[in-house]
Structure 1
Amino acid sequence: MPFLRLEGVTRSVVLPDGDNLEILRGIDLDVEVGEHVSVVGRSGSGKSTLLNILGLIDTPTSGALEFDGVPLERLSGAERDRRRGRDVGFIFQQFNLLPRRTALENVVTPLLYATGRQFWRRQQLATQMLERVGLGTRLASTPDQLSGGEQQRVAIARALVRGPRLILADEPTGALDVETGAAIMALLDEVAETTGAALITITHDPKVAALARRHYRLDRGVLGPVAQAQIDALAQKELTL
């Protein structure tokens, strides 16, 4: 059974003039544990809406979503919040760091809601994760003392520190140089494989998408598979422009 399953998922909103705006149209998607899936799409294609549904922030207008074998409709709002906090790691395009907190304090924050050894070892776990993303010497730095790339790495460390079962990465290398971006994607893949987490990368960059094992394109709310050869060709074209 897939860890994450979407069947016929739609999302629409009613506009002020009464018209119905369809954002997602009949999305079908299965994601296994330890699998890396990419979703590419232009701005306005529905990527953010899809990410919010995958991460249990938003709910579909129609269709079915199963998270770790449990249908979404069986989860209360509180249960959905608990699963999201425990099992989902978000890496947003905007860093969303706490401005007056150090890098270490930002990464510790998710562990304040943990239990047992994770809670008591929170300082150690956060330090180790910052070291893994190359920021072991910047533990005491606040966001205004960090470059954009360093802030992104803090955000990634924060998303991974609890060992989530689902990692949702929204343009995870957008603020990074090519070399650092490749290292971060390798880290995300390593974490997914070693912990059995599912990794879904949502991006407009074919070079980032090409690193996944399965690829999809979201176009006007419709999700369809894309062959590896097509993604590789797009990535090569991007590299030689």
Structure 2
Amino acid sequence: MALLELRGVGRTVSRVDDRPLVILNGVDLVVDVGDRLSIVGRSGSGKSTLLNLLGLLDSPTEGEIFFDDAPTRQFSARQRDVTRGRDVGFIFQQFNLLQGRTALENVMTPLLYDTGSAFWRRRSIATAMLERVGLGHRLASTPDRLSGGEQQRVAIARALVRGPRLILADEPTGALDIETGESVMALLDEIATASSAALVTITHDPAIAALATRRFRLERGVLVPWAEVLL
């Protein structure tokens, strides 16, 4: 069943005193429930723009994006915010943790926007999530006292604490050494599998891309299947 679908999606940006810049062109993509996708592309190929569209942070200038078969073009700003906050989890290369806040406080942050019981249970929910990623002993540690791998695990816990159905990982191992990166990807896949979440990984690393069941290459704004990933 399709969770997210892009049909003929394009993204063009106007430029002063120059021709419009075409970032994405005619992108077709279906992300099913529980899917594992990787998208590889060089710097400037449009990966970040595509990620923003997949995460409902931006809208296409051409084509349509469907979430649960509903056209997102018809979503109000509030609908987009609610859908993104409830159903999408973002994991970034640079972790983007709140400095000066503990690991527990960082993971609790998304739950502050919850209007249900999760708001009142945020401390116990965040604690359980940190324990799940192997950081139950680091609840009171601030980012400056955590290793790169531990910071990424906090970032994963924060992204997944609300149980998103779609996980978008943008170069999640780019700031890590090879061994730690493999460990982080294994953890991410394990948690995504347990919750039946779809995982889309954007990377420049063929070894990371090869972990997905479906692989794509983004080149000059065009998305194509990539059957062969060189290791």
Q: Once the two structures are aligned, what percentage of the paired residues are identical?
A: 69
Q: CA RMSD in A?
A: 1.3
Deviation at 1:40, TM superposition (A): 0.4
Unaligned runs of 5+ in 2: none
2:149–2:184 CA contact under 8 A, matched in 1: no
| Cα distance in 2, alignment partners of residues 53 and 130 from structure 1 | 29
Deviation at 1:135, TM superposition (A): 1.9
TM-score by structure 2 length?
0.95
Q: Secondary structure in 1 aligned to 2:2? A: coil
Paired AA for residue 150 in structure 1: E
TM-score by structure 1 length?
0.92
| Cα distance in 2, alignment partners of residues 195 and 106 from structure 1 | 21
Runs of 4+ in 1 over 3 A off after TM superposition: none
| Cα distance in 2, alignment partners of residues 37 and 172 from structure 1 | 14
Unaligned runs of 5+ in 1: 236-241
| Cα distance in 2, alignment partners of residues 117 and 224 from structure 1 | 43
Superposed counterparts of 1:144-155, under 5 Å: 144-155=144-155
1:36–1:198 CA contact under 8 A, matched in 2: yes
Paired AA for residue 30 in structure 1: V
Superposed counterparts of 1:170-181, under 5 Å: 170-181=170-181
Q: Which residue is 1:10 aligned to?
A: 10
Deviation at 1:108, TM superposition (A): 0.4
1:35–1:193 CA contact under 8 A, matched in 2: no
Q: Secondary structure in 1 aligned to 2:131? A: helix
Q: Secondary structure in 1 aligned to 2:37? A: strand
Q: Which residue is 1:110 aligned to?
A: 110
Superposed counterparts of 1:140-219, under 5 Å: 140-219=140-219
Aligned residue-pair number:
231
Q: Secondary structure in 2 aligned to 1:3? A: strand
Q: Which residue is 1:124 aligned to?
A: 124
1:40–1:205 CA contact under 8 A, matched in 2: yes
Q: Which residue is 2:76 aligned to?
A: 76
Q: Which residue is 1:59 aligned to?
A: 59
| Cα distance in 1, alignment partners of residues 139 and 177 from structure 2 | 21
Q: Which has the higher helix share?
A: 1
| Cα distance in 2, alignment partners of residues 178 and 134 from structure 1 | 19
